[in-house]
Amino acid sequence: MISVLRFLSVACILILAATPARAADSYELLDGQVINGPPASFTKDGVAFREASGDQGPRIGYTNLTQAALQELAKNPKGKRHVEPFLEEPLVASAMKGRPAYELKPHEKIDRPDPKGGLSSMAGSGLGVLLLLLLYAANLFSAYEVGVFRNYSPWMVLGISFVLPVITQIVFLCLPTYVPKAAGEVVDATGAFVPGFAVTGSNQPAAQAAAAIQAAEAAAFPRYKRGEFTFNKRFFETKLSGFFGIRPSDAEKGLVFSAKTSKGQLVCNRVVRVTPGEAVLQVLRGPTMEEVGVPYADFVEIEIQQRA
Protein backbone atom coordinates (compact mmCIF):
# COMPACT_ATOMS: atom_id res chain seq x y z
CA MET A 1 0.00 0.00 0.00
CA ILE A 2 2.81 2.33 0.86
CA SER A 3 4.56 1.62 -2.46
CA VAL A 4 1.41 2.50 -4.40
CA LEU A 5 1.08 5.84 -2.60
CA ARG A 6 4.72 6.62 -3.31
CA PHE A 7 4.23 5.83 -6.99
CA LEU A 8 1.19 8.11 -7.23
CA SER A 9 3.01 10.96 -5.47
CA VAL A 10 5.99 10.74 -7.83
CA ALA A 11 3.67 10.65 -10.86
CA CYS A 12 1.76 13.75 -9.70
CA ILE A 13 5.01 15.61 -9.11
CA LEU A 14 6.28 14.71 -12.58
CA ILE A 15 2.99 15.79 -14.22
CA LEU A 16 2.94 19.12 -12.35
CA ALA A 17 6.58 19.75 -13.25
CA ALA A 18 6.07 18.92 -16.93
CA THR A 19 2.92 21.01 -17.46
CA PRO A 20 4.44 24.58 -17.18
CA ALA A 21 7.49 23.50 -19.18
CA ARG A 22 5.29 22.38 -22.05
CA ALA A 23 3.32 25.62 -21.84
CA ALA A 24 6.55 27.55 -21.99
CA ASP A 25 7.81 25.48 -24.97
CA SER A 26 4.85 26.36 -27.22
CA TYR A 27 5.68 28.31 -30.39
CA GLU A 28 3.02 29.61 -32.79
CA LEU A 29 3.44 29.72 -36.56
CA LEU A 30 1.98 32.35 -38.88
CA ASP A 31 -0.49 29.84 -40.32
CA GLY A 32 -1.94 29.25 -36.83
CA GLN A 33 -0.21 25.94 -35.99
CA VAL A 34 1.43 25.52 -32.60
CA ILE A 35 4.66 23.60 -32.05
CA ASN A 36 5.18 22.12 -28.60
CA GLY A 37 8.70 21.28 -27.63
CA PRO A 38 12.01 22.90 -26.86
CA PRO A 39 14.29 24.10 -29.67
CA ALA A 40 16.90 21.50 -30.48
CA SER A 41 19.04 23.14 -33.18
CA PHE A 42 19.57 26.70 -34.46
CA THR A 43 21.06 27.47 -37.89
CA LYS A 44 20.82 30.41 -40.31
CA ASP A 45 18.14 28.48 -42.26
CA GLY A 46 15.81 27.98 -39.31
CA VAL A 47 15.16 26.20 -36.03
CA ALA A 48 14.36 22.53 -35.35
CA PHE A 49 12.24 21.54 -32.35
CA ARG A 50 12.42 18.33 -30.34
CA GLU A 51 9.28 16.25 -30.61
CA ALA A 52 7.55 14.40 -27.75
CA SER A 53 9.19 11.16 -28.89
CA GLY A 54 12.60 12.75 -28.33
CA ASP A 55 13.50 12.96 -32.01
CA GLN A 56 14.42 16.22 -33.78
CA GLY A 57 11.61 17.56 -35.94
CA PRO A 58 11.78 19.30 -39.35
CA ARG A 59 13.56 22.63 -39.58
CA ILE A 60 11.23 25.67 -39.71
CA GLY A 61 12.27 29.02 -41.21
CA TYR A 62 12.31 32.06 -38.96
CA THR A 63 9.97 33.92 -41.31
CA ASN A 64 7.24 31.31 -40.58
CA LEU A 65 7.20 32.11 -36.86
CA THR A 66 5.22 34.89 -35.20
CA GLN A 67 6.98 37.79 -33.51
CA ALA A 68 6.00 36.43 -30.09
CA ALA A 69 7.63 33.08 -30.91
CA LEU A 70 10.75 34.80 -32.23
CA GLN A 71 11.06 36.92 -29.10
CA GLU A 72 10.80 33.77 -27.00
CA LEU A 73 13.51 32.05 -29.07
CA ALA A 74 15.75 35.12 -28.77
CA LYS A 75 15.98 34.42 -25.04
CA ASN A 76 17.92 31.25 -25.86
CA PRO A 77 21.66 32.10 -25.95
CA LYS A 78 22.27 29.61 -28.80
CA GLY A 79 19.66 31.09 -31.13
CA LYS A 80 19.89 34.80 -30.25
CA ARG A 81 22.26 35.74 -33.07
CA HIS A 82 20.13 33.88 -35.63
CA VAL A 83 16.77 35.22 -34.45
CA GLU A 84 17.59 38.92 -33.85
CA PRO A 85 17.69 39.93 -37.59
CA PHE A 86 14.06 38.78 -37.91
CA LEU A 87 12.74 40.73 -34.94
CA GLU A 88 10.64 43.81 -35.82
CA GLU A 89 11.33 46.96 -33.84
CA PRO A 90 8.51 49.40 -33.02
CA LEU A 91 8.04 52.02 -35.76
CA VAL A 92 8.75 55.01 -33.55
CA ALA A 93 11.79 53.42 -31.96
CA SER A 94 13.26 52.42 -35.35
CA ALA A 95 12.64 55.87 -36.82
CA MET A 96 14.30 57.69 -33.93
CA LYS A 97 17.16 55.24 -33.54
CA GLY A 98 20.48 56.95 -34.15
CA ARG A 99 18.97 60.44 -34.44
CA PRO A 100 19.77 63.26 -32.05
CA ALA A 101 17.02 64.58 -29.87
CA TYR A 102 15.59 67.91 -30.95
CA GLU A 103 14.63 70.58 -28.51
CA LEU A 104 11.98 73.08 -29.55
CA LYS A 105 12.91 76.59 -28.54
CA PRO A 106 10.62 79.64 -28.63
CA HIS A 107 11.35 82.11 -31.43
CA GLU A 108 10.60 85.77 -31.94
CA LYS A 109 7.60 86.40 -34.19
CA ILE A 110 7.83 89.04 -36.92
CA ASP A 111 5.16 91.69 -36.83
CA ARG A 112 2.95 91.82 -39.90
CA PRO A 113 2.96 95.12 -41.85
CA ASP A 114 0.05 97.45 -41.42
CA PRO A 115 -2.33 96.89 -44.39
CA LYS A 116 -3.41 100.54 -44.15
CA GLY A 117 0.11 101.93 -44.12
CA GLY A 118 0.35 102.59 -47.89
CA LEU A 119 3.60 103.89 -49.37
CA SER A 120 4.75 105.20 -45.99
CA SER A 121 5.06 101.62 -44.72
CA MET A 122 7.45 100.81 -47.60
CA ALA A 123 9.88 103.46 -46.36
CA GLY A 124 10.33 101.52 -43.15
CA SER A 125 12.64 98.95 -44.75
CA GLY A 126 15.68 99.10 -46.99
CA LEU A 127 14.02 97.06 -49.73
CA GLY A 128 10.98 99.35 -49.67
CA VAL A 129 13.17 102.45 -50.05
CA LEU A 130 14.95 100.84 -53.00
CA LEU A 131 11.64 100.08 -54.73
CA LEU A 132 10.45 103.65 -54.21
CA LEU A 133 13.67 105.02 -55.73
CA LEU A 134 13.31 102.73 -58.76
CA LEU A 135 9.70 103.87 -59.27
CA TYR A 136 10.75 107.53 -59.05
CA ALA A 137 13.58 106.99 -61.56
CA ALA A 138 11.11 105.30 -63.94
CA ASN A 139 8.81 108.31 -63.54
CA LEU A 140 11.57 110.74 -64.57
CA PHE A 141 12.60 108.58 -67.53
CA SER A 142 9.02 108.33 -68.80
CA ALA A 143 8.64 112.13 -68.48
CA TYR A 144 11.75 112.62 -70.65
CA GLU A 145 10.40 110.24 -73.29
CA VAL A 146 6.98 111.95 -73.30
CA GLY A 147 8.69 115.30 -73.94
CA VAL A 148 10.57 113.81 -76.91
CA PHE A 149 7.41 112.17 -78.24
CA ARG A 150 5.32 115.37 -78.08
CA ASN A 151 8.21 117.54 -79.36
CA TYR A 152 8.36 119.62 -76.16
CA SER A 153 11.58 120.26 -74.31
CA PRO A 154 12.23 116.92 -72.57
CA TRP A 155 14.14 118.63 -69.75
CA MET A 156 11.19 120.91 -69.10
CA VAL A 157 8.80 117.95 -68.89
CA LEU A 158 11.29 116.08 -66.66
CA GLY A 159 11.58 119.10 -64.32
CA ILE A 160 7.81 119.39 -63.95
CA SER A 161 7.53 115.64 -63.36
CA PHE A 162 10.12 115.99 -60.59
CA VAL A 163 7.47 117.89 -58.61
CA LEU A 164 4.30 116.32 -60.06
CA PRO A 165 5.09 112.73 -60.96
CA VAL A 166 2.79 110.75 -63.26
CA ILE A 167 0.31 113.65 -63.60
CA THR A 168 2.82 115.53 -65.79
CA GLN A 169 3.07 112.66 -68.26
CA ILE A 170 -0.71 112.37 -68.51
CA VAL A 171 -1.14 116.10 -69.18
CA PHE A 172 1.54 116.27 -71.88
CA LEU A 173 0.23 113.14 -73.58
CA CYS A 174 -3.18 114.82 -73.83
CA LEU A 175 -1.64 117.92 -75.45
CA PRO A 176 -1.08 118.02 -79.23
CA THR A 177 2.42 117.63 -80.62
CA TYR A 178 4.25 120.93 -80.59
CA VAL A 179 5.18 122.16 -84.11
CA PRO A 180 7.48 125.21 -83.93
CA LYS A 181 7.41 127.88 -86.64
CA ALA A 182 10.47 128.41 -88.80
CA ALA A 183 12.48 131.51 -88.02
CA GLY A 184 12.28 132.73 -91.64
CA GLU A 185 8.63 131.88 -92.19
CA VAL A 186 6.68 134.99 -93.14
CA VAL A 187 3.76 133.52 -95.06
CA ASP A 188 1.42 130.59 -94.21
CA ALA A 189 1.27 128.18 -97.17
CA THR A 190 -2.44 127.64 -96.58
CA GLY A 191 -3.28 131.36 -96.68
CA ALA A 192 -4.16 133.33 -99.76
CA PHE A 193 -1.09 135.37 -100.61
CA VAL A 194 -0.24 136.96 -103.91
CA PRO A 195 3.15 138.67 -103.79
CA GLY A 196 3.51 142.03 -105.43
CA PHE A 197 6.69 143.25 -106.96
CA ALA A 198 7.71 146.80 -107.65
CA VAL A 199 10.20 147.80 -110.32
CA THR A 200 12.22 150.83 -109.36
CA GLY A 201 13.36 152.85 -112.33
CA SER A 202 12.45 152.29 -115.94
CA ASN A 203 16.08 152.08 -116.97
CA GLN A 204 16.72 148.89 -114.83
CA PRO A 205 17.98 146.08 -117.04
CA ALA A 206 15.48 143.33 -117.77
CA ALA A 207 17.82 140.59 -116.41
CA GLN A 208 18.16 142.29 -113.04
CA ALA A 209 14.40 142.80 -112.84
CA ALA A 210 13.73 139.14 -113.61
CA ALA A 211 16.27 138.03 -110.98
CA ALA A 212 14.67 140.30 -108.39
CA ILE A 213 11.26 138.88 -109.20
CA GLN A 214 12.52 135.28 -108.85
CA ALA A 215 14.23 136.09 -105.56
CA ALA A 216 11.06 137.70 -104.22
CA GLU A 217 8.97 134.71 -105.30
CA ALA A 218 11.42 132.32 -103.65
CA ALA A 219 11.25 134.28 -100.40
CA ALA A 220 7.45 134.34 -100.51
CA PHE A 221 6.96 130.60 -100.27
CA PRO A 222 7.93 128.75 -97.08
CA ARG A 223 10.55 126.05 -96.70
CA TYR A 224 10.36 123.42 -93.95
CA LYS A 225 13.57 121.75 -92.78
CA ARG A 226 14.12 118.82 -90.45
CA GLY A 227 15.23 120.07 -87.08
CA GLU A 228 13.05 123.15 -87.36
CA PHE A 229 9.91 121.06 -87.97
CA THR A 230 8.78 117.58 -87.07
CA PHE A 231 7.50 115.72 -90.10
CA ASN A 232 4.49 113.69 -89.03
CA LYS A 233 0.80 113.27 -89.77
CA ARG A 234 -0.12 116.50 -88.02
CA PHE A 235 2.47 118.47 -89.99
CA PHE A 236 0.93 117.49 -93.34
CA GLU A 237 -2.59 118.11 -92.06
CA THR A 238 -1.74 121.65 -90.93
CA LYS A 239 1.06 122.96 -93.19
CA LEU A 240 0.01 121.25 -96.45
CA SER A 241 -3.73 121.05 -95.91
CA GLY A 242 -4.38 122.88 -99.20
CA PHE A 243 -2.77 120.07 -101.19
CA PHE A 244 -5.27 117.47 -99.97
CA GLY A 245 -8.14 116.52 -102.27
CA ILE A 246 -8.32 115.87 -106.00
CA ARG A 247 -8.20 119.57 -106.86
CA PRO A 248 -5.99 122.02 -104.96
CA SER A 249 -7.54 124.91 -103.09
CA ASP A 250 -7.60 128.43 -104.53
CA ALA A 251 -4.50 129.41 -102.56
CA GLU A 252 -2.49 126.46 -103.95
CA LYS A 253 -3.48 126.76 -107.61
CA GLY A 254 -0.38 126.77 -109.76
CA LEU A 255 1.77 125.57 -106.84
CA VAL A 256 3.61 122.34 -106.15
CA PHE A 257 5.85 121.26 -103.31
CA SER A 258 9.28 119.75 -103.57
CA ALA A 259 10.07 117.01 -101.05
CA LYS A 260 13.72 116.29 -100.45
CA THR A 261 14.09 112.81 -98.99
CA SER A 262 16.95 110.52 -98.11
CA LYS A 263 16.27 108.63 -101.37
CA GLY A 264 16.06 111.62 -103.72
CA GLN A 265 14.10 114.71 -104.75
CA LEU A 266 10.35 114.43 -105.39
CA VAL A 267 8.14 117.06 -107.04
CA CYS A 268 4.57 116.58 -105.79
CA ASN A 269 1.29 118.29 -106.56
CA ARG A 270 -1.00 116.49 -104.09
CA VAL A 271 -1.07 114.69 -100.78
CA VAL A 272 -3.12 111.54 -101.36
CA ARG A 273 -3.38 110.45 -97.74
CA VAL A 274 -1.41 110.39 -94.51
CA THR A 275 -1.09 107.58 -91.98
CA PRO A 276 0.65 107.46 -88.58
CA GLY A 277 3.76 106.08 -90.30
CA GLU A 278 4.01 107.63 -93.78
CA ALA A 279 2.61 110.14 -96.27
CA VAL A 280 1.38 108.98 -99.69
CA LEU A 281 2.19 111.69 -102.27
CA GLN A 282 1.25 112.17 -105.90
CA VAL A 283 4.64 112.61 -107.61
CA LEU A 284 5.11 114.22 -111.04
CA ARG A 285 7.15 112.04 -113.39
CA GLY A 286 7.28 114.16 -116.52
CA PRO A 287 3.87 113.95 -118.18
CA THR A 288 2.74 111.14 -115.84
CA MET A 289 1.89 111.01 -112.15
CA GLU A 290 2.64 108.28 -109.60
CA GLU A 291 1.61 107.67 -105.99
CA VAL A 292 4.60 107.13 -103.70
CA GLY A 293 4.55 106.35 -99.98
CA VAL A 294 7.34 108.08 -98.06
CA PRO A 295 7.99 107.36 -94.34
CA TYR A 296 8.16 110.48 -92.18
CA ALA A 297 11.70 109.61 -91.11
CA ASP A 298 12.93 109.93 -94.75
CA PHE A 299 11.88 113.59 -95.19
CA VAL A 300 14.75 116.08 -95.07
CA GLU A 301 13.14 119.24 -96.45
CA ILE A 302 9.84 120.32 -98.01
CA GLU A 303 9.56 123.51 -100.08
CA ILE A 304 6.50 125.00 -101.77
CA GLN A 305 7.24 126.21 -105.33
CA GLN A 306 5.56 127.72 -108.35
CA ARG A 307 4.61 125.10 -110.93
CA ALA A 308 7.07 125.21 -113.78
24-40 in b/e form (b: 16+ CB < 10 A) is eeebeeeeeeebebebb
Q: What is the pLDDT of residue 204?
A: 53
pLDDT in tens, 83-128: 888 887 765 555 556 667 778 888 888 777 667 766 666 676 778 7
Beta bridge partners of 29: 65
Distance CA 56, CA 48 (A): 7
Domains and CATH numbers, the chain: 18-96 (2.30.30), 119-174 (no CATH), 206-306 (2.30.30)
pLDDT in tens, 55-79: 888 888 888 888 888 888 888 888 8
Q: What is the pLDDT of residue 207?
A: 59
Q: What is the pLDDT of residue 188?
A: 45
Distance CA 99, CA 108 (A): 27
